[in-house]
Structure 1
Amino acid sequence: MTATLIEAGVPAETIQTAPARRNARRSGRTKRKLGKTLLGVLAVVIGVIWVFPVYWMINSALLPKSYLESFTPTFFPVEASLGNFTAAIADGTFFTALGISTAVTLSAVVLCLVFAFLAAIAISRFRFKGRTTFVLAVLVVQMLPAEGLFIAQYKMMSTLGLKGSIVGLSLLYIAFVVPFTVWMLRGFVAGIPAELEEAAMMDGLSRTQAFMRITFPLLAPGLVASGVYAFLQCWNEFTVALVLMDQSTQTLPLWLRGFVQQSTTRAIDWGQVMAASSLVAIPVIVFFLIVQGRLTSGLVSGAVKG
């Protein structure tokens, strides 16, 4: 074979290096395959580490108290029961706290998206006097620690007669979430070329029609993402609700705290604590699963319309 190739005019150096090149390509493919395998194993390990606390919470919520007090950990709910869940909601306060948290969170998220959306459109699409000052003000508000505003917020809500009310807590949550939501939506709005609206206006649409038909569908994924952020922030917020709300109008984080704040003569029932934590997390998981599908469809829809 070598002699035939030499007679055909192929240089000897090329003939000698051809097997080496084949070995190099084979070695490169092996290394890439090994690298992908290692990355996959690393991803699985990270996923297990991330999921394990959630699994342990649910597992502990399903175990009887005797297993939880044992020095030997039980990794599987061998005698699973819903007794801890039943005990956690026995007094009915869970449903009251659930209703308050739902009302406060949904109202805050809806109004926050409206205000943040209008502000993001204004600072991204229009040039007006004081625009830079407004942007800097949003940044400064983000830098302020929430704890430093508790006294002022408490006095303000007390003066307005909104202490311990859903309306007062919703207003504070809106003020808390709006600045960062404005920045999130500003990035989405700035990422959509204004030329799309101009082209639609040249085809006979008004500015409002061009925005609603062209730009707004492309902004839907940004609104969903910002809504998820606002929902999580309001649903899990604890300190502002602790300062403003009372025992009869407590949100779910405050209700959950009641399972840990036991008297000195009574041990903490960790089974009920884990069951209560699972109950608080379930609405968030359901909401995220619903929104995740809409977010994915919104991204695909926006890409096709663009």
Structure 2
Amino acid sequence: MNPRSPLARTGLSVLALALAAVWAFPVYWMLNSAFLPNVVLQSTNPTFLPFGGSFDNLRVVVTDPAFLSALGISLVVTLTTVIAALFVAFLGALAISRFRFRGRASFVLALLLIQMLPAEGLFIAQYKMMSELGMLNRAIGLAVLYTAAVVPFTIWMLRGFVAGVPADLEEAAMVDGLSRTQAFLRITFPLLAPGLVASGVYAFLQAWNEFTVALVIMTEEQSRTLPLWLRGFVQASASRETDWGQVMAASTLVAVPVIIFFLIVQGRMSSGLVGGAVKG
């Protein structure tokens, strides 16, 4: 069958929609369950639409002081990680793309090898290091570890974008009277914006959803990030009878910042991912 024929395209479209529905259904079920009382969720007959639901589950979660504390810590850690990782990775990508120096190839290879290290193998060293520096149960300490974890891959991502912008553009701007710094900021940097956004999304997701490192470093209850708070929230519910409505409401609120972030940067992110696929 010709893949360009109307019948083939229709079949592929139906298959794509079916796969998308399968992928999206768990997310929809979480959102739907967030508005339903626990009695309805425990019924043998599933409820696919939140008719008769309410915002009670969301209200219970939002008014929990532990949730607000965990939200603040997660925001501080995530934003710090994104800013620091992009700054360091951007300088590293510029260095290996624009300059030729001894050990450059080894440095690029090391970036790939670092990604192969299992995170679990670093827990003891990370804990001892943070303990000696007095950064246990502190957002800045966790942000440092997250930044170190995402920088190697972020450098690798940005390297392709920097290499895809010809250095001749900067040289032409310098001929027109701009300094090297002005040429970079006015000519090169705007062209790298999609790559920075795509790399920032990666760093954001890694920092926002990370669980195991936070579990090791943030041992005190008042220092928990949102993934740790969500685990504690589920366990607290399970001590009596699991209120799945509240659990789903909590999960929804944890996912909301990610959804908002994607809505803000989706245009730049799409062009950045496509650009990174064909450059350098």
Q: 1:88 aligns to what?
A: 61
The amino acid that maps onto 1:278 is: T
Aligned pairs for 1:254-293 (under 5 A) are 254-262=228-236, 266-293=240-267
Matched, 1:227 2:231: no
Change (3 A) 1:185 1:28: closer
Give the Å deviation of 1:141: 1.2
Helix, strand or coil at the partner of 2:192: helix
Stretch of structure 1 that moved more, 45-54 or 261-270: 261-270
CA distance in 1, matches of 2:179, 2:168: 14
Q: 2:214 aligns to what?
A: 241
Percent of aligned pairs with the same amino acid: 67
The amino acid that maps onto 1:202 is: V
TM-score (norm 2): 0.92
Give the Å deviation of 1:71: 1.4
Q: Render the CA deviation track for 1:126-169: whole Å, top value 9, x for unaligned.
A: 00122122212212211101110000000000001000001100
Give the Å deviation of 1:267: 2.2
RMSD, aligned CA: 2.0
Give the Å deviation of 1:202: 2.7
Q: Render the CA deviation track for 1:57-94: whole Å, top value 9, x for unaligned.
A: 01111111111111111111121111111222333111
Change (3 A) 1:298 1:240: closer
Q: 1:5 aligns to what?
A: none
CA distance in 1, matches of 2:237, 2:244: 14
Q: 1:194 aligns to what?
A: 167
Question: Which blocks of at least 5 consecutive residues in structure 2 are unaligned?
Answer: 274-280
The amino acid that maps onto 2:51 is: V
Q: Render the CA deviation track for 1:92-116: whole Å, top value 9, x for unaligned.
A: 1111111000001001100110000
- 8 A contact 2:195–2:272 mirrored in 1: no
Question: Which residue, out of 149, 156, 172, partners 2:122?
Answer: 149
CA distance in 2, matches of 1:204, 1:298: 30
CA distance in 2, matches of 1:298, 1:214: 17
Which structure would you say has the larger RCO, counting Cα contacts within 8 Å and 6 or more residues apart?
2
CA distance in 2, matches of 1:28, 1:288: 36
TM-score (norm 1): 0.84
Q: Render the CA deviation track for 1:186-220: whole Å, top value 9, x for unaligned.
A: 01111112222222223332222221121111100
The amino acid that maps onto 2:181 is: T
Q: 2:137 aligns to what?
A: 164
Helix, strand or coil at the partner of 2:134: coil
The amino acid that maps onto 1:275 is: A
- 8 A contact 1:259–1:269 mirrored in 2: no
CA distance in 2, matches of 1:264, 1:219: 48
CA distance in 2, matches of 1:142, 1:110: 20
Q: 1:214 aligns to what?
A: 187
Question: Which blocks of at least 5 consecutive residues in structure 1 are unaligned?
Answer: 1-26, 300-306
Aligned residue pairs: how many?
Answer: 272
CA distance in 2, matches of 1:259, 1:68: 18
Bigger Cα Rg? 1
